[in-house]
Chains A and B, each alone.
Chain A
Amino acid sequence: MKKMLEVELLKLKNSWVLLVATLAPGFMVFQGVANFLRYYELFTSRGQNVWHQIYLQSSIFYVSAMLPVLITLIMVSIARIEYKSGGLRYFLTLPVKRSGVYAAKLIVGCMVCLFNVLVFSLSLLVAGKIINAPGSIPYDILARPFMAYIASLPVMIITFLLSINISQMAIPLGIGIGLALPSLLVANTRYWVFYPWTYPIMAALGGDFFEKAYFPFAAGFLIFVLLAFAGLRWFMEKDILD
């Protein structure tokens, strides 16, 4: 498996996706902090914690729009390198197990997504230090993006399965981004439980005031495991015609 993961990482070399995964979260924090500084008086007038405020300003758009869109982009480009010039049909004629290829690609995809979340957390720390946020760092602002990541597992597996099974990238890209856009609206209704794209929002921003705080994680994990195995079975039986 180690060999398979190394090969999958090698395939990503020179791909723009790693660059986007690194820069985009930093940009989100930058605009979040800029917004906070612009309305500094407003955001701190009731003595709110500066760290929490920059977290809030940065993460609203990150978890509701940027993260799911980035996950889609990451998963699509991991599949794209296989379909663009027949890489997959060649790669599968090598002595590799299809289950191994599937698992390695899924793991690498999820790792790149995790890396993207870690960059986000790190950017928060750096930004807080730069603007000299008072007080000690509240560590929940670092834990919460990670929780949003766990809650994003359904989004990851859904976009992964769409990308790996459809050779035209426009379809998974369109579905992934299209479903991400209304998520902030749906999150404000009681139907959010049926819409996995809201799970990261609930995990990152839900606070103590919403019931079923466990739900995005439990449902997210369950959906991920079920779809991952269903997708694996499908991928193993699939005729490679592209």
Chain B
Amino acid sequence: MDQVLGSTITTTPPPMARGRWRTVLRAVFRHPRIVVGGALFAVITLLTLLAPWLATHDPMQINPVERLQAPSAAHLLGTDGLGRDVFSRVLYGGRVSLFVGLSSALAASLAGLVLGLVSGYVRAIDNIVMLVMTGLMAIPGILLAIAFTTLSSASVATVVIAITIPEVPRTARLVRSTVLSIREQPYVDAAIVTGTSFPRLLLRHIFPNAAAPLIVQATFICASAIIVEAYLSFLGAGTPPEIPSWGNMIAEARNFLRFAVWILLYPSLLLGVAVLSINLLGDGLRDWLDPRLSGRLTEGR
């Protein structure tokens, strides 16, 4: 009898993987900004990904007879100055904007990660890299991007590179500063004591500590890249005009602002919502990933 009782008291721990996911989900739902931002971002991403099925017209199809039409059943969001369907163009334009945003964020994070990790640890490289980064930071990002797109042929890839370059110093400095503080921690010595090799030390022991601020920074880069892409396109130094992007649409729409406000309204609206959702997501992630900060901010709840 005792044995039976004993075995009922012994609880077997639940399978780890499931428990961990549940903990993560619960933590995410405690941060409403992650949920709201993530949901909005997911909706916009889905809309642009499903553009070929959702679009009612060819986004490039010029149709002078139907130009500047107000929203109707045939053209859900009206037509622009060349008779192109605004609804279809907004969907396809989002693809360019989101692609530019995401790939700039990814490229800037990767470049910053490599430069930051190495220069945070190797003194000799640090001096050179930081000199170049400081030099880059002295040039206004928009000017650098305009110069770059003017000097090279216009394409979406050029725009991504032009937006990424001014962001790299920021990510590199962010990672470097984290590495500089982490490298003095006793657990780094403890990892060295167990014979960890240098690349492994950087990637498996130091990088995970630097990952959280970098992820948060990446979301803000993504949001700002979408805006900068719009700036550049507006100034005619961005995405080639024949490719629909939110920036291009806004640039073209300004000529018709007084009598066809819908051409300007919808791409601007989606641009705004996309940037807002990414910023919310970034804010939420920061609160979640930096528990010290979130504790202070949510104390008043």
Chains A and B form a bound pair: no
